[in-house]
Structures are given as structure tokens and as C-alpha cells.
Structure 1
Amino acid sequence: MRARRALRTTVSFLTSRVEAPDEDDWKKLRKALLYLKRNPGLPLILEASDLSLINWYVDASFAVHPDYKSHTGGMMTLGKSGRGAVMDICAKQRSNATSSTQTELYGVDQTMPKMIWAKHFLEAQGFETRTVLHQDNTSTIRLEVNGKKSSGQRTRHLHIKYFFVTDQLKEGWLSVQYCPTAEMNGDLNTKPLQGELWRKFMGRAQNCSPDLPPD
């Protein structure tokens, strides 16, 4: 999806509403247009203190679309600062989920092609890389690390394809790390953030201080 990062979540939602828009959708679109008018440009400052360290912050919002499908959001940064998003993802999930744990596992599966591509690209430039997947759901982390062995009554139905991440973890190029929700950069692409939270995560994504549109 081609859209300015500040509007990714809004545009991603509105493009799923073109067949049956309502008054609330028009208000969202109008607010987005006003933002563009008042903020014609916001620089993206890339920061790569360590080109061998790839960080992916992947999150998901449960059942936020009108058809009760969930939404995946993620951000990739280089180095330890967690600032200056080189790549990201903001997309509606293709399948319905029964829990937030399942939703986040779907989100990782949806992001995995980008994660592997980024690894291969940097290695082709001559860098030895390691990739860290940051997640804020401990139940999802257990499923990712242990695979089907961690499935209980609520997750035993999950298709084996969603455990592709488990194989990648075993290969050693990928590791998973718990990230507190308050520090989850992926929230920028999954939730309609406002105020200080929006400034915080938008500032990290662009690696500069964003200006909020006036009321």
C-alpha cells in the first residue's frame, strides 16, 4: 500500500470500506485530508547504528474491521535505537481469528516474507545479520517458540502453516523477544493513536519530531 506513514492505518481501513461507506468513514477521510493540507511534508531520517541488527516490531489488533477480521501492523528498524522505519506493514488480515493470541500469530505469518527479504537483501550487500522479532503477547511468543507443543484447547485448531515462524527460529537467524506494549512501535500501524502516543510512535518511525495538526 502506498501512503504516507502517518496515514497508513487510516488509508488501510478506508480502502476496505469503499463498497459501503458511511458518515463516519467520510469524517475519517476528511480528517486525513486536513492532515495532509496542514502537514505537507515530514522527513524520514534513517538511522542505522548497526547494519547487522534487524529489528521487527510486529503487532495486531483483534477484530477491528466491520467483518471482524483483524489488522496487522509492523515496523522494521536497523540497529539498537528502534528509530527510523526502513520498512513497515499495515494490512487487514485475510482470515478471522478467535483470540488476540491467534491474531498476533497471523500477523507474524503475514510479515514473515518481508522479514526474510530484508535479511537476504542485507546479506547480499555483504553484511552478516541477526533478526530480532519484538512481540508484546507472551502467549503468542510461546506458540512461536514451542510450536504445536504449546497449543491448548483454544489454539489446537491452528493450521500448521502459521508455525513456519517456529522453523525459522530453530534455524537460528531469527530470535523473538518480549516487548512491553508501551514500547511496541508496531502500534502505529494497528491502532488509531492520538495525542502523545501518536507523537511518540510517529516520532520513532520518522526519527524526527512530528507536528500534530491543529484542531
Structure 2
Amino acid sequence: MEVNLKLEKPTDEKLPDFPFLNLIGSLMYIATATRPDIMYPVSHLSQFNTCFRKEHWLAAKRVLRYLKHTKSLNLVFQKTADPCISGLSDANWGNCLDGRSYTGFCFLYSGTAISWEAKKQRTVAQSTAESEYMALSEAAKEALHLKNLADHLGIRQNTVEIETDNQAAQNWAINPIVTPKSKHIALKEHFIRDAVHNKDVQLKYCPTEDMTADVFTKSLAAPKLILFREKLGLRDCS
């Protein structure tokens, strides 16, 4: 997706004659199955399923062209000495025109993506730390699901490490104290605190410039997109 592209919902109700819904449905299938690198643009474009215009159609076709030129990319899994599940969590504060933020997270097994998500947050976050904290709670839910699934498959892992690039959100999760900036946060968002307290999840700081989950919260320039998709395990197998 074009960097810093801002798509708006049109005010008129007449829809153009484009197969936009069919295209978004097909792209969503690909994004959730094997191509985490297009998860954000597809999620963003799906907001306009009932109110699209030509600019939305052109943005969706841009994703198609990208897929055409990168159709040899595959998620490649390699055997490692100590395979484990690890996670990345990020948020883009106030990214949407309605003031809401975007949550993005990804979980890797032996360095290759096995689960990922990009979605708009349900409530308006009042700070970057709050949006990151909400993203961590969503990531913790997925971490517990993957941990239980791994146990069922005979893969024992006591704690899942999740990386975040926001130290304030990390401190809120580790230290269950009420501050003026966090006292209004809904109870459900504190799920991450229980996960950390029970040692199901361990948080680790990651510098913003190295945060691979950025690919799930915003459109990126080509060099950064290529770097992060390689870190997700997408390899050219042509």
C-alpha cells in the first residue's frame, strides 16, 4: 500500500460497478493463509466493503500487482536446535481517521510466522502507551492459545516471549499499579497483567526500528517491507 495513504468513506451511497468485495475476499484468504506481508492493507481496505469508490479499487489492485511480482514468496520453516514460539506486538496510535489505533501482532515458530493479525482497535486510545497496552492484551490471548495448542501437540513451552517497542506499556503490564495515565483503562485490557503474573507470557523490549510487527500496523516503504517480510520467514523459492 502507498505510504501514508488516507482513504475516506464517501458520503454518497451509489457504489461503482467494481467487483471490490470479491477481490477483498480473495485477498483476505491469501493474507490469513500464507502472506502476512499483505495483512495490513487488506484489513484496512476491508473497512470499505459497503462504501468503496474508485480510489479504494485502485488501492486493492495495487496489492494484486504486488502479489503478482512476489508470487514466488513462501513461508519457509527450517529445523533449529531449540524450536520455540515467540511473539511480536505493535500498535499505531491514532492511525485511522476516526481516531482509533491499529493493533498488529505476530507469532513465530523457529523464526517463521505461524499466526498474525492486523485490526482496528475497538476503542479510542488516549496515548501511544495505551494503544500498545491494548495490543499486548490481544497478543497475550493468542499466546495462550498457541501455548495450549503446542502442549496438545506434545511441544512443551512454559512461557511465550512477546516483544514490544513501548516501555511504558511494558511497565504497566509488569507492575500492576494505577497511574493517572492508566486509571481509565477498561478491565478487559488488563488481561496481559494476569498472563505476565502467571508467567505464561514474558515481555521483552525491542527498539522501534527493529519491530517487525510494524508491517501489521501501517504501510511501509519498500526497503523496510522487504526486511520485515524476510524476518517473518517469507523466502523467495523461485
Give the TM-score range, shorter chain: 0.7 to 0.9
Opposite residue 28 of structure 1, the aligned amino acid is A
Q: Paired residue for 1:164?
A: 191
Q: Paired residue for 1:55?
A: 86
State how far apart, in whole Å, the 2-side matches of 1:61 and 1:48 are: 33
Percent of residue pairs identical = 23
Q: Paired residue for 2:105?
A: 74
Question: TM-score with structure 1 length normalisation?
Answer: 0.87
Contact 2:140 2:201 in 1 (8 A): no
Structure 1 unmatched runs, 5+: none
Higher radius of gyration, 1 or 2: 2
Contact 1:203 1:209 in 2 (8 A): no
2:231 to 195, 201, 204: 204
Aligned-pair Cα RMSD in Å: 2.0
2:212 to 150, 167, 185: 185
- Within 5 Å, give how 1:35-114 maps onto structure 2: 35-47=66-78, 49=80, 50-51=82-83, 53-79=84-110, 83-114=111-142
Q: Secondary structure at the match of 2:181?
A: coil
For each residue in 1:94-141, what CA deviation from the matched residue of structure 2 results, as whole angstroms up to 9, or x when unmatched?
111111111111112222322111001111222220210101000000
The worse-fitting range, judged by mean Cα deviation, of 38-47 and 123-132 is 38-47
Deviation, structure 1 residue 65: 1.8
Deviation, structure 1 residue 41: 3.5
**Matched residues, number:** 205
Q: Does 2:175 align with 1:143?
A: no
State how far apart, in whole Å, the 2-side matches of 1:72 and 1:5 are: 14
Contact 2:40 2:218 in 1 (8 A): yes
For each residue in 1:124-180, what CA deviation from the matched residue of structure 2 results, as whole angstroms up to 9, or x when unmatched?
222220210101000000111112x1x322221111221111111111222111011
Change (3 A) 1:61 1:210: farther
Structure 2 unmatched runs, 5+: 1-27
Q: Secondary structure at the match of 1:16?
A: helix
Contact 1:73 1:107 in 2 (8 A): yes
- Within 5 Å, give how 1:112-123 maps onto structure 2: 112-123=140-151
Contact 1:46 1:86 in 2 (8 A): no
Contact 1:90 1:189 in 2 (8 A): yes
State how far apart, in whole Å, the 2-side matches of 1:113 and 1:33 are: 32
State how far apart, in whole Å, the 1-side matches of 2:118 and 2:171 are: 24
For each residue in 1:10-46, what CA deviation from the matched residue of structure 2 results, as whole angstroms up to 9, or x when unmatched?
1100001223334542332121121123333311102
Contact 2:143 2:201 in 1 (8 A): no
Question: TM-score with structure 2 length normalisation?
Answer: 0.79
